[in-house]
Amino acid sequence: MSAPTTPSGADRVASSGIVPVVLYACIHNSGRSVAAKVLTEHYAKGRVEVRSAGSEPGAGVNPQVTAVLAERGLRTDDEVPTLLTADLAEVADVVVTMGCGETCPFFPGKRYLDWEVEDPAGQDLEATRRIVDDIDARVRRLLTELGITPLQG
């Protein structure tokens, strides 16, 4: 059981009707964070501003992640691995880290979540499906915590 937390900037933003900004960060910004970004955009339908970045951006999106998201009717064509900067973290209301750990900039007053999600790099399609399913469930929970009902379709 985790300790209760005080309301974060994201909680206050979501309750005020202002669109919260969520930043997903991982090492290469080619798998986990891209899947989280695409899934959040899908379920939030513009009710959240979503960004993703990596501490050591890769050359492109993981093809297995692209394939799994495509099975769900989601595209990664516009996703480009981006360098995680202090500026990106500073404007976010919620920063979700997935393996970048201490390389992620810290700003007081932000809500930080560390999702221990397996890296899809080098995984087969079935393992990548399980990883994306895990991220999917976490994204839906986060949206619900932000007061945003995940929409289908």
Write the DSSP symbol of residue 19. P
Largest CA-CA distance found in the chain, in angstroms, rounded: 43
What domains are defined for the chain? 32-143 (3.40.50.2300)
Which pLDDT score is estimated for 101? 63
Q: Which amino acid is at 124?
A: D
Which of 127, 94, 103 minimizes the C-alpha distance to 28? 103
Residue 109 has which token pair? 């007053």
pLDDT tens digits in sequence order for the chain, 153 residues long: 333 333 444 444 444 568 999 999 999 999 999 999 999 999 999 999 999 999 899 999 999 999 999 999 999 999 999 999 989 989 999 999 997 666 666 777 789 999 999 999 999 999 999 999 999 999 999 999 999 999 886
